[in-house]
């Protein structure tokens, strides 16, 4: 549908443009500026061109962090999406129970990132934590600050606990929008539970699931607070994901130039992957429809 | 296939209040004969969908029983009733091809593969879906999708009944003709018991052998299209069936004579001396414009030309009436009188039809 | 006051929704856009309203070019298939809303609202909210709102499509009345030929984004310029049979010959398609001179007063409408007939070459 051409409309957008300019465009330009310069002490800057970018692309440390990051996001999606759907499917359809469920489900979403980190940090401690103590009493050795696998498992658990609700709520909304006629038809056709899911619920949830995957991917790709609170990226560099690495570089080492280049590349990578994700899903959808 | 019996059936969405007005479906007793095609016809909110949902098992009635071949299924679930249903909007499985959609109810019942494909082929032929069998159902037009829904409803031979809930609402007028005939042919071919809910009289009359006319939760009449047209049991049936509906004129009746203001109309039947609110009902098709002096005087208000007919709106003794005039006939300025066909006159008392006795049996030698 | 479209077209994503259209709607005229779903009725209306900008062509309102003019600045009202009212306002406030926007005085608004309510039988429910009234009343409320501001152009896009059959019948009578009272240009979209005829005025038939014909309703109905228009303006769909014209007359597929008289006498020899409407098919005792066929009955539909016959004849499928109720067995052979006077003839390009004589114009009372 084509809009009627009206230049005056731009006047109305100006306040927002100014706000956005101050809140994101100008800071971002500063970062771009930094990424091409080297700084000594405080205020002396030298033009270094693409030096930082070149260096970063050859940095093993960065590639390691990138690999960890991808693996992390992949595992998160693999767990949270099916689990969220499962939770949504088993939620009550209507009435008081449904409202209670919705409120309970939203609780984790309301907890700040660093609090989630702290909760799990305490929860997992072998001396005073409920989980850590229980596991060690069962004879299972579990120590997230020493063992890389345990640290990973804890971070993943944390994220799953924190965000599966979001996937579940989105899926639940998708499920509720399916007209009852479909379920009735399925009953009449004597379709099994799996068939109902495979041929009715899943295809009708498609739209919301795409959004859920995209949101969870972008968010998990930027994870920072939880592993930082838990182990500060350790043990060793085991849970040093991209953003932790970035902060280490920028604040810990005061390498403003490389850090600026890093964040720009980080930003572009997220943009790129999200874009690819989105187009692939959209075209798959279109092809399916036209087949 | 089965005969469906409704026994003292009534339903209220608010049964505790006990008020009669709360009943979305007032008490009904009826047997739907095996293998016949029925239509439930009425304006929105008349209770037709409530009745359909009770038969399909989606609703449990407040009172009474539903029997399939004498067996009480009132409490049975939809799945256990062995019925098929076609909904207002197409319900298709997007993930499957057209053929898989048609085969789905059979596959779920573990039918033999060869038998399934034979049956699917047959249904596809009858619904005109042969060319599309291997296409993905998703992305097809609404018309085709609704054909799939119809086909899936028909595909099982052993169903007790097939229920249709306004299935042609979303279909273009030209295609309605095609789908309606297909439905009719499918009924003739397979002989399923069919129940069809609609607010469109053309669909109801053309589809069904018997039409159930409902209003405000009450079944007003169950009859063949001809009975509904010629002998409506209730003034509402007269109004609702036919387009435009029946004309009504306030009258007083004595024996076989109806008096409208200062004119008298001779009736074919003797009604005695009924009291109450009396009205004479006659269809626009049976009112004839004429020059003859013995007609009743009318003033013509306007004429609408619908191609095959012209509809004349006129005033007869303070009442507005419609007159249908055939395509070839002319309307002259001197045609200011009408003749009502006495054979086709109905008399209603307090909206319900009165049955008279044919005149020649009454007095014997009157003629 | 007139609305003129000159070569107006609309292309969306490389797909032509409206082929260049020329049409002039005169002051105080009722214009029905008739065509099946997605024939372009809504697209054309949106162009007329100024909701969409045409890709080519110009639109004139009272001889002024308004092609790029915003819909807000134009003098139009629109009624949709869905019942569009403000849910939080009463019927009264709904009807008053466009008048308030035009800064009319309270007394003026009140008088106008009551006038519209009277016209559309809404007086008794002026205090109700849209959710509390029936669908028919909601649509009447939407119409009252559209007509209250007394605009030059009223566009109605299948306003009756979502209503019950009987309500539709009622409003079909009311709309021409409203139209006469308003003096505006009315444009009304519908898929139903009968509705177009009953509303009267002019009909524009649409097919695949093209206006195939525009003229007084009866002229188009009785003289469709091509087979497409004839098909669009027939419900049940028009029946066709292929015929051969030669020196001897008109030959039907089974060899029957009828003399080529009147207009058909003047058409060159060749192959034609003859079309006729359902109610012109006859059964039983045929009129002298009728073309007779042996038809195989597919199915009959009884409507209470008439019977629809679906038959197959020489590989064609026809639908006939005969008066009275007559039930036949499917598969039965039926002798049917056609009055040659009721046939339309179309050439190989589907253009009309001969139409039945117009019935003598009835003397208006």
State the Cα–Cα distance between residues A34 and A257, nearest whole angstrom: 5
Question: How are beta strands B71-72 and B161-165 bridged, if at all?
Answer: unpaired
CB B187 within 8 A of CB C299: no
- pLDDT tens digits for A201-249? 998 888 889 889 888 988 888 888 888 888 877 787 888 888 888 787 7
Q: Is residue B252 part of a domain?
A: yes
CB A183 within 8 A of CB A200: yes
State the Cα–Cα distance between residues B225 and C304, nearest whole angstrom: 5
Whether pLDDT at C360 is above 70: no
Q: Mark which of B188, B211, B235 sits at the end of a domain.
A: B235
The count of domains in chain A is: 1
Q: What are the residues whose beta carbons fall under 8 Å from the beta carbon of A57, sequence distance 6 or more?
A: none
Residue A285 in contact with partner chain B when CB distance is under 8 A:
no
State the Cα–Cα distance between residues C149 and C102, nearest whole angstrom: 8
Q: What b/e sequence results for B262-283 when a residue is b if at least 16 CB atoms lie within 10 Å of its CB, and e otherwise?
A: eeebebebbbeeeeeebbbbbb
Q: Percentage of chain B surpassing pLDDT 70?
A: 97
Whether pLDDT at B212 is above 90: yes
Indicate whether B157 and B279 sit together in one domain: no
Query: Closest chain A residue to B92 measured between Cα atoms?
Result: A182
Cα pseudo-dihedral B287, C319, C276, C307, rounded to 10: -20
State the Cα–Cα distance between residues B218 and B237, nearest whole angstrom: 12
Indicate whether B88 and B205 sit together in one domain: yes
Minimal CA separation from B211 to chain C, in Å? 11
State the Cα–Cα distance between residues B326 and B329, nearest whole angstrom: 6
Bridge partners of residue B17, in order along the sequence: none
Would you kindly state where each structural domain of chain C is located, as residue ranges?
A: 2-232, 239-354
Residue B3: closest CA among B170, B195, B252: B195
Residue C330 in contact with partner chain B when CB distance is under 8 A:
yes
Domain of A155, in residue numbers: 65-290
Q: Domain with B282 in it: what CATH number?
A: 2.40.50.140
State the Cα–Cα distance between residues C205 and C35, nearest whole angstrom: 6
Q: Domain with A190 in it: what CATH number?
A: 1.10.3720.10
Q: Is residue B240 part of a domain?
A: no
With contacts defined as CB-CB under 8 Å, which chain C residues touch B43?
Answer: 164, 166-167
Mutation for testing the C interface, residue in B166, B191, B206 having most C CBs under 10 Å: B206
Distance of CA B119 to the CA centre of its chain: 31
Q: Percentage of chain C surpassing pLDDT 70?
A: 98
pLDDT at B46 (0 to 100)? 87
**Among B8-12, B283-287, B312-316, C324-328, the least confident range:** C324-328
Q: Is residue B79 part of a domain?
A: yes
Q: What b/e sequence results for C250-262 when a residue is b if at least 16 CB atoms lie within 10 Å of its CB, and e otherwise?
A: bebeeeeebebee
A278 or A76, greater pLDDT: A76
A35 or C45, greater pLDDT: C45
Domain of B278, in residue numbers: 248-361
Q: Is residue A104 part of a domain?
A: yes
**Average pLDDT estimate for C325-342:** 85
Bridge partners of residue B354, in order along the sequence: B347
Question: How are beta strands C30-34 and C185-190 bridged, if at all?
Answer: parallel
Whether pLDDT at B365 is above 50: no
- Tell me which H or E stretch contains B52: helix B48-56
**Average pLDDT estimate for C309-322:** 88
Whether pLDDT at B5 is above 70: yes
Indicate whether B108 and B221 sit together in one domain: yes
CB B254 within 8 A of CB B85: no
Indicate whether B228 and B283 sit together in one domain: no
State the Cα–Cα distance between residues A185 and B153, nearest whole angstrom: 9
Superfamily of domain C239-354: Nucleic acid-binding proteins (2.40.50.140)
CA distances from B255 to B252, B280, C88 (A): 10, 14, 56
CB A50 within 8 A of CB A258: no
Q: Domain with B18 in it: what CATH number?
A: 3.40.50.300
Indicate whether B65 and B198 sit together in one domain: yes
Touching partners of A (3+ C-beta pairs < 8 Å)? B, C
Q: Is B34 exposed, middle or buried (0-12, 13-18, 19+ CB in 10 A)?
A: middle
Whether pLDDT at B367 is above 60: no
Bridge partners of residue C281, in order along the sequence: C338
CB B322 within 8 A of CB B332: no
State the Cα–Cα distance between residues B330 and B289, nearest whole angstrom: 10
- Provide φ and ψ at C85, rounded to 5°: -135, 165
pLDDT at B251 (0 to 100)? 94
- Tell me which H or E stretch contains C208: none
Touching partners of C (3+ C-beta pairs < 8 Å)? A, B
Task: Residue window 49-88, chain C: list those with CB within 8 Å of chain A.
Answer: 50-53, 68, 70-71
Indicate whether B206 and B96 sit together in one domain: yes
Q: Is residue B322 part of a domain?
A: yes
State the Cα–Cα distance between residues B342 and B269, nearest whole angstrom: 9
pLDDT at A289 (0 to 100)? 52
Q: Cβ atoms within 10 A of the Cβ of C247, count?
A: 6
CB C81 within 8 A of CB C157: yes
Candidate CATH numbers 3.40.50.300, 2.60.40.10, 3.40.50.700, 3.40.47.10; the one for domain C2-232: 3.40.50.300
């Amino acid at each position: 549908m084509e809009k009627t051409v009206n230049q005056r409309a731009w006047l109305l957008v100006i306040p927002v443009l100014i706000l956005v300019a101050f809140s994101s465009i100008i800071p971002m330009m500063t970062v771009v500026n930094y990424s091409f310069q080297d700084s000594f002490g405080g205020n002396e800057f030298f033009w270094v061109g693409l030096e930082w970018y070149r260096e970063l692309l050859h940095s093993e440390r960065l590639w390691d962090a990138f690999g960890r990051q991808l693996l992390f996001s992949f595992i998160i999606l693999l767990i949270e999406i099916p689990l969220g759907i499962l939770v949504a499917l088993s939620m009550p359809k209507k009435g008081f129970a449904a409202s209670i469920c919705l409120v309970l489900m939203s609780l984790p979403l309301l907890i700040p990132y660093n609090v989630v980190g702290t909760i799990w940090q305490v929860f997992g401690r072998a001396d005073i934590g409920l989980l850590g103590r229980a596991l060690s009493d069962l004879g299972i050795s579990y120590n997230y600050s020493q063992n890389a696998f345990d640290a990973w498992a804890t971070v993943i658990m944390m994220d799953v606990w924190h965000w599966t609700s979001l996937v579940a709520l989105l899926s639940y909304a998708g499920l509720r929008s399916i007209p009852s006629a479909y379920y009735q038809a399925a009953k009449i056709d004597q379709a099994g539970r799996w068939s109902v899911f495979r041929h009715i619920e899943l295809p009708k949830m498609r739209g919301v699931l795409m959004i859920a995957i995209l949101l969870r991917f972008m968010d998990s790709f930027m994870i920072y607070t939880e592993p930082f609170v838990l182990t500060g990226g350790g043990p060793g560099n085991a849970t040093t994901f991209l953003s932790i690495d970035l902060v280490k570089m920028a604040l810990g080492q005061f390498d403003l130039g490389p850090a600026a280049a890093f964040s720009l590349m980080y930003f572009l990578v997220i943009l790129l992957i999200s874009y690819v994700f989105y187009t692939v899903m959209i075209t798959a959808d279109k092809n399916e429809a036209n087949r | 296939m089965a005969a469906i019996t409704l026994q003292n059936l009534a339903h209220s969405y608010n049964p505790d209040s006990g008020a009669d007005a709360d009943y979305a479906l007032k008490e009904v007793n009826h047997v739907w004969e095996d293998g016949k095609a029925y239509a439930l016809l009425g304006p929105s909110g008349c209770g037709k969908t409530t009745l359909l949902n009770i038969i399909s098992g989606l609703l449990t009635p407040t009172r009474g029983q539903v029997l399939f071949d004498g067996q009480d299924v009132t409490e049975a679930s939809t799945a256990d009733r062995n019925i098929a249903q076609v909904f207002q909007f197409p319900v298709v499985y997007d993930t499957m091809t057209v053929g898989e959609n048609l085969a789905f109810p059979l596959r779920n019942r573990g039918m033999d593969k060869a038998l399934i494909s034979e049956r699917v082929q047959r249904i596809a032929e009858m619904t005109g879906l042969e060319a599309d069998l291997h296409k993905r159902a998703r992305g097809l037009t609404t018309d085709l999708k609704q054909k799939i829904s119809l086909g899936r409803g028909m595909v099982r031979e052993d169903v007790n009944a097939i229920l249709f809930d306004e299935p042609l609402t979303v279909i273009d007028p030209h295609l309605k003709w095609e789908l309606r005939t297909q439905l009719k042919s499918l009924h003739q071919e397979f002989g399923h018991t069919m129940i069809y809910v609609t607010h469109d009289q053309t669909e109801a009359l053309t589809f069904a052998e018997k039409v159930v006319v409902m209003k405000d939760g009450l079944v007003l009449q169950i009859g063949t299209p001809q009975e509904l047209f010629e002998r409506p049991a209730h003034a509402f049936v007269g109004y609702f069936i036919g387009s435009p509906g029946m004309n009504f004129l306030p009258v007083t009746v004595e024996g076989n004579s109806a008096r409208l203001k200062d004119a008298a109309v001779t009736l074919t039947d003797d009604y005695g001396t009924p009291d109450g609110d009396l009205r004479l009902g006659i269809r626009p098709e049976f009112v004839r414009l004429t020059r003859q002096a013995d007609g009743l005087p009318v003033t013509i208000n306007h004429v609408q030309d619908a191609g095959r007919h012209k509809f004349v709106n006129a005033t007869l003794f303070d009442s507005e009436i419609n007159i249908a005039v055939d395509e070839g006939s002319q309307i002259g300025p001197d045609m200011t009188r009408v003749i009502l066909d006495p054979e086709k006159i109905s008399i209603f008392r307090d909206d319900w039809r009165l049955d008279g006795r044919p005149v020649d049996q009454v007095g014997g030698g009157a003629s | 006051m007139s609305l003129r479209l000159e070569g107006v077209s609309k292309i969306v994503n490389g797909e032509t929704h409206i082929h260049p259209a020329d049409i002039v709607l005169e002051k105080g005229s009722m214009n029905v856009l008739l065509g099946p779903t997605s024939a372009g009725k809504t697209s054309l209306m949106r162009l007329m309203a100024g909701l969409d900008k045409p890709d080519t062509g110009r639109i004139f309102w009272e001889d002024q070019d308004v092609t790029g003019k915003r819909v807000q600045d134009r003098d139009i009202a629109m009624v949709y298939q869905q019942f569009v009212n403000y849910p939080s306002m009463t019927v009264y406030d709904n009807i008053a809303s466009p008048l308030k926007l035009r800064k009319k005085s309270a007394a003026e608004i009140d008088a106008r609202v009551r006038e519209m309510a009277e016209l559309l039988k809404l007086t008794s429910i002026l205090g109700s909210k849209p959710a509390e009234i029936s669908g028919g009343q909601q649509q009447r409320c939407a119409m009252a709102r559209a007509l209250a501001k007394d605009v030059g152009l009223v566009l109605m896009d299948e306003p009756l499509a979502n209503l019950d059959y009987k309500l539709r019948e009622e409003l079909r009578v009311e709309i021409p009345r409203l139209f006469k009272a308003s003096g505006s240009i009315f444009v009304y979209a519908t898929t139903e030929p009968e509705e177009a005829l009953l509303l009267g005025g002019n009909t524009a038939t649409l097919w695949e984004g093209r206006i195939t014909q525009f003229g007084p309703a009866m002229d188009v109905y009785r003289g469709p310029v091509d087979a497409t228009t004839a098909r669009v303006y027939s419900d049940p769909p028009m029946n066709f049979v292929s015929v051969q014209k030669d020196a001897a007359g008109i030959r039907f597929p089974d060899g029957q010959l009828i003399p080529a008289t009147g207009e058909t006498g003047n058409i060159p020899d060749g192959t034609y398609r003859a079309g006729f409407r359902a109610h012109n098919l006859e059964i039983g005792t045929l009129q002298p001179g009728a073309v007779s066929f042996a038809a195989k009955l597919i199915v009959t539909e009884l409507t209470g007063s008439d019977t629809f016959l679906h038959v197959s004849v020489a590989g064609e499928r026809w639908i006939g409408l005969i008066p009275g109720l007559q039930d036949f067995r499917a598969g039965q052979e039926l002798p049917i007939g056609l009055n040659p006077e009721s046939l339309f003839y179309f050439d190989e390009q589907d253009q009309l070459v001969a139409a039945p004589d117009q019935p003598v114009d009835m003397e208006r009372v």
